[in-house]
Amino acid sequence: FLAFYDIVIIGGGVMGCSVAYWLAQRIYKGMKIAVIERDPTYRYASTTLSVGGMRQQFSLPENIEMSLFGADFLRSANRRLHIHGVDMPDIKFQPHGYLFLATEEGAAQMEENHHTQVQCGAKVELMTPRRLQRKFPWLNLDGIALGSYGYENEGWFDPWALMSALRLKATELGVDFIHGDVYNVAHETNDDTMWTEETYTKEAEALDEQRRLLKRSYEVHVHLPDGDIFPITSSLFVIAAGPQSGHVANMFGIGLQKGLLSVPLPVEPRKRYVYNFHAPTGPGLATPLVVDPTGLYFRREGHGNNYIGGMSPPIQDLEPSTDNMDVDYDPIQNRGVS
C-alpha cells in the first residue's frame, strides 16, 4: 500500500502543527497534507517540556519581528483557532514580561540590543539599578549595572495547549496526522550499477550511497505502531522534528549536496533541566521571567508561590548526556536554590 500527499511534515510538535495549520488555511483546498509524529502522547517532546517563553529581546531583527508576530497571534489565538462546537484548549498567555540583568561588562551589548529591539517596534525599557529597585524591590542587585524589561507582548504561555489547539484546527482543515516514525528516505534511483565480487569495495559502496543521496527525495518509509512499514510519497517534505531535525535532514542528503545543501543542518539534541520549586516568601504575582548575567532564569508558575527555573551548562564540556530523561539536581542546588 502506498499513500501520496502533496506535502509531508515530519514532526508533529508545535512547529509541525503550526506549519500544517498555516499551509492548510492558505493553499488550495484540494492539496493533501500529512503530519508524521512518532509519539502522539508527546511525553518527551521538546514542546511539552519547554518553559513556553515569549520574548522580543533578541539581537537580530528577524528574531524580534517573528516574535512580535507570535505575540500578536497568541493574543488572537482563541479567535483564529476557534472550532464551532469544540471546547478549545486555553493557551493562557501570561504577558508578565522578561527581565534581563547585566553587569557592567554586558551593559554595552544590552544597550545595542535595545536599540535594535526598539527599531523593530518592541516595547522594551532599559532600567538603572535604582529604577529596578523601585519596580522590583525583591531583586538582589549586587553587581547589576543595567536591566532590560519587556513590558508588553512578553511573558509565557501553555505550550501543550497551543500545540493541541493548532493540531485540532489543522485536522479540521483537512490535515492527516499519522502515528509513525520516519526511518528511511527513498531517493530517485541511480543508473543501475552491477557489483561483482572483483569490483565491489567498501569505497565503491560508499560512493554509490553518496550518489543516491544526491538524487531527489520522493518517498519516506514510516514505521507504524503495529510494526508495518508505511511508504508515503510526496513532492515536498518539511522537516520539523525538533532536536532530531539534523538526523532527519541527513537522511534527505542535506550536507552531501552542492551549494547551500552542502552544509549539514546544525541541529542536534541538547538536554536542559527545568526545576519546579516552592518559595513561600517569593515575589509572587509581580514576577516577570528573570534572567541573571550567568544565564540562570526563573519565573512564576501558577498563582501560588511556585516557580520554575534553570540554566544552561557554563561550558560545553559539561553538556549532560541525552541518552535518558533523568534529572540532575546538582546544577540548581549548586546555585543555592533548594
- Average pLDDT on 29-56 reads 93
How much is the pLDDT for 194? 45
Q: How confident is the model at residue 293 (pLDDT cuts 50, 70, 90)?
A: very high
- Average pLDDT on 109-133 reads 97
Q: What is the spatial distance between Cα 287 and Cα 277, in angstroms, rounded to a whole number?
A: 14
Burial class (CB in 10 A: 0-12, 13-18, 19+), 275: middle
How much is the pLDDT for 76? 92
Q: What is the spatial distance between Cα 154 and Cα 55, in angstroms, rounded to a whole number?
A: 5
Instruction: Give me the amino acid identity at 295.
Output: G
- Average pLDDT on 175-203 reads 72
Q: What is the spatial distance between Cα 107 and Cα 288, in angstroms, rounded to a whole number?
A: 20
Distance, C-alpha 328 to centroid of its chain: 22
DSSP 29: T
In the structure grid, which three cell numbers stand for residue 98, read together? 522578561
For 39, 81, 84, 152, 321, the CA distances from 172, given in Å and listed in that order, are 21, 10, 10, 32, 39
How much is the pLDDT for 54? 95
3-42 pLDDT, tens digit each: 999 999 999 999 999 999 999 998 877 899 999 999 999 9
Q: Cell 497534507 maps to which residue?
A: 33
What is the average pLDDT value for the chain, to the nearest integer? 89
Whether residue 336 is predicted with pLDDT greater than 90 in this model: the reply is no
Tell me the H-state helices in the chain. 14-26, 46-49, 61-75, 77-80, 104-119, 129-135, 159-172, 202-214, 245-251, 330-333
Q: Measured on CA atoms in the order 147, 148, 153, 156, is the torsion positive or negative?
A: negative
**For the whole model, what pTM was predicted?**
0.88
232-282 pLDDT, tens digit each: 999 999 999 999 999 999 999 898 877 888 899 999 999 999 999 999 999
How much is the pLDDT for 337? 47
Write the DSSP string, 224-251. -TTS-EEEEEEEEEEE--GGGHHHHHHH
Between 44-58, 148-162, 222-236, 249-263, the lowest mean confidence (pLDDT) is in 249-263
3-state secondary structure of 158: coil
What percentage of the chain carries pLDDT values higher than 90? 72
How much is the pLDDT for 308? 94
3-state secondary structure of 277: strand
